[in-house]
Structure 1
């Protein structure tokens, strides 16, 4: 018996994929290194996590504040994992980011598990590696945003779907679609983007008759609907008096939030939750190179800062060696720049350097592998098992890519949704293109897929880096094109193999370098991005999701709070969040994220003041609040507290990792971008014109 156990142990030991293990370690380092040194990440969510660790009610509803006044504008599932981590390790950037890091690494592993069974180890390794070095995947996995968590559960859903097909098991299928419903409660309708591709795959891949497929599909949809609606309906059916206001909604409803602000507005343009309409975010075309007056601007900014923002929109200052103009998509300053809507948007410089380095390779590889894996004995519509897998990943790419090509309201970091499809098709495609080189001769057009993929990808990458480093542009172009020509004309198989390796390494250099920038800069930004600007601008600091605390003001408030329920009230979460994180006390953000949620009425606020629950109001000097009547009443009846009483010393919650001495960081001067100025587009500096009002004597 012992001998048998030893034999089994030996069997499993030798089945460890050490190359995959190395890839996973690289992913863990890229996603996790330095996250314990980066402040409060997205303090909007960190504030909610702080509150969620204090009571189950706050945990269930994802309350932004400890008093359970208002929620964040997303469902709670991703935050549940973060709150559990914070409960175990204490609230810190490390604890709130840890689940994203682990889910990011988990996604890399799932890419391998999804591709290997049908296309082999090498295809799985390549897919895992491409996922690892996709710049926006690294940036997202280092934050407490929901995107890395969402992608993990979508991939897990596909793994269960493949199990359902292979095992002809309805329970795997129902579980797969139930996970999509679970993922809906991570980031709402974004989870549904791949559902059509999943349904198509099941119908073409399942080896059951159409009656069984129909019944199974109905059961799968039922499981999807049940898991989707379980939490939202439980919230909407609870009396508004017994739960927080649903942040981001107009009428205190999760379902409205899902299909409005987090639904149709993402496609058609934002009309709520910002204090203004953001129609066609980044889509307007200017005439004579002048900035369009209707170009969207960050919420709650002065006109002066909005003008500065428009001027800075393309990217930060020029890095060393950059040629004319700015560096779009370089990272750190393009949170409102999503390019021009159209079929080529994903290749444009606004989004491309975040996600599209290997997109041409994936597309050409998709076409090549679909052709190569066809069975010549079958009719064109009779697909092989491998072709069905390609259809699944192509469906993901087309559906998600199509959305980002036309949508009007999203941040560049949302494009992490494209990463799995690009990674999968790159792995599948490379193996397919290598097979084409073996089985077809130079007279067959299919022989030329790989050199074409390397050449086109190299040219796109050279364009992306051309605004930064001329030498890198030349390197990628020369080696990429030379490798492509070498594949075509060199007849020695041994030499050709080395040429192919050189070409593949060449098109991996730039995305690998870009993916390292969030790790080198030790960023964990509210608006994640990757790019060389991070090495000098330290990410998106100075605005959205990175507020600061006025320590003297805080001491004054704590000393004089008395029995008031709230430390103070303010218009928006940007002002409130850092105080909640630091004190773990209740601060009322009357209008939610941007001060625009109609969560509070004047009569209700008067009652809170009269009962002593709200004693102070902090005016952050921001415009756009829907609570103007309340603010006007406060300014008319409240007593201004002299700034001399508490001083104006501020300390930021964000202790961002940064570059000091270039040589100390091990980067040569010529590799180091010039310092970028502060990016005003992130919402402007906090505490720029704060005024504190004492409301305690209004009803005395």
Structure 2
């Protein structure tokens, strides 16, 4: 006989499994790792993506993404103009995803900037997962969560990486590719795995498509780490040879494809004398980067002078320190800590060698933007996260105190170099360092819950000031030379030399009204600043002026944000540019090209303002590439494909006596100079519009 349980008040047993499962899922979600990872993801996404559509974009790189989105051929070759006349002066890997975003979602500031932000979030998460996996493999079950979250937080809190993430500069995808390489490389050296070594080589080849030779700088550290694994020397050398060969072949794939396609069937390779992709990668972007000058070399490479003189202490000068130096000393200390605490030697050799190699490279290169150093975030973050977690798990007091103390001291020294900017945060970090140290010394680590809170306080004592600089990057943007913290907030050069004037852009600074223009005519620094590197002073290019108008895409401008108009610097259009655009659109007739300009910088604003209309960038990025030739140019005019030519390009790198422009003495400029001369002799100046010429079909 059965007894009914209705009304007995006893819960139905059928619901018990689902309730228990729900509780189990909830408990798992509320564990430190998923909870911390969720918070890290949310904070990173907020810092990099919030109000991104109202931010700035580099008009030059925006035009490239728009041009590449016009056809699959343009996407492959990295064409800087919709018609596919000339390519980028680099491998276009970092622009493939932004171009696809433009193709899928239409052209806007959001569609060209969001891919970089998403790539940076992915890199942060990969760093966290990599550090956690390494720590677990080392037997640190309790410390693995701390290692992962601290490593990911350190990467996210690198100010220059945060600044780049909110721009359309090409660095973010390189950092993501390096994060993938780090994941595979650490597995390779942990397990002495040939398969993972080949995988790491493949990811390094992917990074090569993003940033070329800089990617190969990971290989010495990876090889050293693999050579100290427990394998026979013959097998280690064989594995390295195979993986190196695979990496080399994959790295050179794009170069080989372009080289094998007839020159008449593809754009001219930007930055070269001979239309050769090998020259572009290994000459212009290779040897040319280590030239002794900061304006040009035998390869006419652009070596930006925004980071001070090359030397051992370059990364600690006032131009660079606030962007990346916060964790350099503690990361170097972390190498020592990991060695002393007998962390797996191959991992330490790889990560330590990677950091030291990149530090040496950035200290030696002739000239660079500060954002080149964003790739340091990965080895620094992994080393700091792992070292502190190992020391914390093993209760090695001296190592924890030393790392917290070095990080806090670095924050104080770097913070004092920028007086008046977030000094209260530096003070708070110092106080937190003292509190964390005291808690460690008096034994708060004895209780599990107390240990967790001490770890949180210690993490803040390690990262608070750079994290604050990173968050403040949301309010002060510059997509031409992205910088975070004091340089952007105080309207400085973003790290340019004092007294440098307006050469190579003269970013807003110091207040002089007489500074030279560049990069679209940003005001120079200091009174009477002279134009640098042959650029004419005082003005912006014909695309655009130096004013920051409203927000992009119809939104209000935030600090430094500019309107959705034309311009190499992303500033709003002036009346003269509006006049040029209105005139050529009304009078182009059946011409294929809207107009021609000297230099891709000048062409960029007109390309974006017309949502991808064909603008001919004579001379490419530098304004001195022999593309098109005079014969080709004459044919375009005589056939009626081209009618208007804009002669002025003072604010860009090309033409007007700028970098590699008509004022250069290089023999490769003869075609550009010949075109200028031909236009002045055979075309008619348009009344009322400065520097615009009308050419009649013959």
Q: Is residue 695 of structure 2 the alignment partner of residue 695 of structure 1?
A: yes
Q: Residues 594-609 of structure 1 correspond to what in structure 2 (within 5 A)?
A: 594-609=622-637
CA shift at 1:341, angstroms?
2.3
- Relative distance call for 1:421 and 1:635 in structure 2 (3 A) is same
- Relative distance call for 1:146 and 1:11 in structure 2 (3 A) is farther
Counterpart in the other structure of 2:527: none
Counterpart in the other structure of 2:537: none
Asked whether the 8 Å contact 1:131–1:420 carries over to 2, the reply is yes
Match of residue 159, structure 1, among 163, 183, 189: 183
Counterpart in the other structure of 1:110: 126
- Relative distance call for 1:186 and 1:338 in structure 2 (3 A) is same
Asked whether the 8 Å contact 2:41–2:121 carries over to 1, the reply is yes
CA shift at 1:556, angstroms?
1.2
SS at match of 2:84: coil
Q: Is residue 81 of structure 2 the alignment partner of residue 127 of structure 1?
A: no
Counterpart in the other structure of 2:38: 21
With the length of structure 2 as denominator, give the TM-score of the two structures. 0.76
- Relative distance call for 1:168 and 1:435 in structure 2 (3 A) is closer
- Count residues with an aligned counterpart: 578
SS at match of 2:249: helix
Q: Is residue 619 of structure 2 the alignment partner of residue 588 of structure 1?
A: no
- Relative distance call for 1:215 and 1:402 in structure 2 (3 A) is same
In structure 1, the gaps of 5 or more residues are 282-334, 375-383, 645-689
Taking the aligned partners of 1:3 and 1:219, their CA distance within structure 2 comes to: 56
Taking the aligned partners of 1:435 and 1:254, their CA distance within structure 2 comes to: 51
Match of residue 385, structure 2, among 407, 423, 427: 427
CA shift at 1:138, angstroms?
0.7
In structure 2, the gaps of 5 or more residues are 1-14, 136-143, 495-506, 509-518, 521-567, 651-655, 662-668
Q: Is residue 273 of structure 2 the alignment partner of residue 228 of structure 1?
A: no
CA shift at 1:26, angstroms?
0.6
Counterpart in the other structure of 1:461: 414
SS at match of 1:520: coil
Taking the aligned partners of 2:627 and 2:19, their CA distance within structure 1 comes to: 65
RMSD: 3.3
Q: Residues 464-543 of structure 1 correspond to what in structure 2 (within 5 A)?
A: 464-466=417-419, 468=421, 471=424, 476=429, 479=431, 482-483=434-435, 486=438, 504-521=459-476, 523=477, 525-535=479-489, 537=491, 543=520
CA shift at 1:599, angstroms?
2.0
Q: Is residue 637 of structure 2 the alignment partner of residue 637 of structure 1?
A: no
Counterpart in the other structure of 1:388: 346
Taking the aligned partners of 1:131 and 1:574, their CA distance within structure 2 comes to: 32
Taking the aligned partners of 1:634 and 1:524, their CA distance within structure 2 comes to: 35
Counterpart in the other structure of 1:345: 314
Match of residue 222, structure 2, among 158, 179, 198: 198
CA shift at 1:7, angstroms?
9.4
Asked whether the 8 Å contact 2:192–2:226 carries over to 1, the reply is no
- Relative distance call for 1:81 and 1:53 in structure 2 (3 A) is same
SS at match of 2:285: helix
Asked whether the 8 Å contact 2:185–2:197 carries over to 1, the reply is yes
Taking the aligned partners of 2:63 and 2:627, their CA distance within structure 1 comes to: 18
Taking the aligned partners of 1:4 and 1:161, their CA distance within structure 2 comes to: 43
Asked whether the 8 Å contact 2:285–2:301 carries over to 1, the reply is no
Match of residue 551, structure 1, among 578, 583, 602: 578
Q: Residues 18-97 of structure 1 correspond to what in structure 2 (within 5 A)?
A: 18-39=35-56, 41-97=57-113
Counterpart in the other structure of 1:379: none
Taking the aligned partners of 1:486 and 1:616, their CA distance within structure 2 comes to: 72
Taking the aligned partners of 1:118 and 1:106, their CA distance within structure 2 comes to: 18
Match of residue 402, structure 1, among 357, 360, 365: 360
Taking the aligned partners of 2:592 and 2:222, their CA distance within structure 1 comes to: 49
Taking the aligned partners of 2:301 and 2:76, their CA distance within structure 1 comes to: 31
Asked whether the 8 Å contact 1:270–1:278 carries over to 2, the reply is no
Asked whether the 8 Å contact 2:113–2:167 carries over to 1, the reply is yes
With the length of structure 1 as denominator, give the TM-score of the two structures. 0.75
Taking the aligned partners of 1:134 and 1:187, their CA distance within structure 2 comes to: 20
CA shift at 1:474, angstroms?
5.1
Q: Is residue 104 of structure 2 the alignment partner of residue 150 of structure 1?
A: no
Q: Which structure would you say has the larger RCO, counting Cα contacts within 8 Å and 6 or more residues apart? A: 1
SS at match of 1:569: strand
Taking the aligned partners of 1:560 and 1:123, their CA distance within structure 2 comes to: 64
Counterpart in the other structure of 2:600: 573
Taking the aligned partners of 1:481 and 1:174, their CA distance within structure 2 comes to: 42
CA shift at 1:9, angstroms?
9.4
Asked whether the 8 Å contact 2:288–2:300 carries over to 1, the reply is no
Asked whether the 8 Å contact 2:425–2:464 carries over to 1, the reply is no
CA shift at 1:27, angstroms?
0.6
CA shift at 1:511, angstroms?
1.0
Deviation digits for residues 216-265 of structure 1 (CA, Å, limit 9, x no counterpart): 22221121122111111111121111110111222211111111221122
The farther-off stretch of 122-131 and 467-476 is: 467-476
CA shift at 1:425, angstroms?
1.4
